[in-house]
Amino acid sequence: MKKVYLFCSAGMSTSLLANNMQEVADAHNLPIEVKAFSLARLPEIYEKEHPDCILLGPQVRFVYDETKKNYNKLNTPVGLIDASDYGTINGEHVLKSAIKLIKQGA
């Protein structure tokens, strides 16, 4: 089971996208778990769950470079959710980009 975890400022709006992504994964029988959290919980969640991919919401793009640097060295790919995909809650497109990131590695 691959873990794709989304992080944003509060984790609320991103949870809608995470639910949509989970529905797409389930519909295609993909062994993927998608969850959303507040950015403040990233170190704690990472330590406990070791996600296979970290995706950041557009509203926290300012921490992308630092997050990528910190977690790529732990072999965890970090991506930035496209603002238009985020706005339209396009779970299928975001899920595809997460799978691509996992396949490419950190």
Per annotation, catalytic residue among 8, 21, 24, 45: 8
14, 59 in Cβ contact below 8 A? no
DSSP 29-94: T--EEEEEEEGGGHHHHHHHH--SEEEE-GGGGGGHHHHHHHHHTTT--EEE--HHHHHTT-HHHH
Catalytic site includes residue 8 = yes
Residue type, 64: Y
> Which residues are identified as catalytic?
8
